[in-house]
Amino acid sequence: MARRIVTPDQLYRRVEGTLTRSIWRVSRLFDDQRGVSHAVVVDVADRTNSKTLAGSILLDRRRFEPVEPSALENTPSAAKLPTVSPEEE
């Protein structure tokens, strides 16, 4: 079985215990003082809403599921995402 890792810009959706089905984008990664990997995730529909989670939480399929970027095209929140033209990159 391939080892799964969390990388910046990956998308996740919480599986359990929530009424909202927000999609979260991994903004950045860091290791705490004990060497535990963490990810800062940002709600794609409300970029003022962010959370810090242990990487193992995002990889736990009972808690979060990966989301393909194409899924954003079919959600109302996608309209709120800024677009960047190639000239601006």
Q: How confident is the model at residue 86 (pLDDT cuts 50, 70, 90)?
A: very low
**Residue 69 pLDDT:** 87
> What was the pLDDT predicted at 16?
75
Is 72 in contact with 83 (CB distance < 8 Å)? no
Q: What is the pTM of this model?
A: 0.74
pLDDT, residue 75, reads: 58
Quote the Cα angle for 22-79-26, to 5°: 45
Residue 85 predicted with pLDDT over 60: no
pLDDT tens per residue across span 36-81:
999 999 999 999 999 999 999 999 999 999 999 887 776 555 444 4
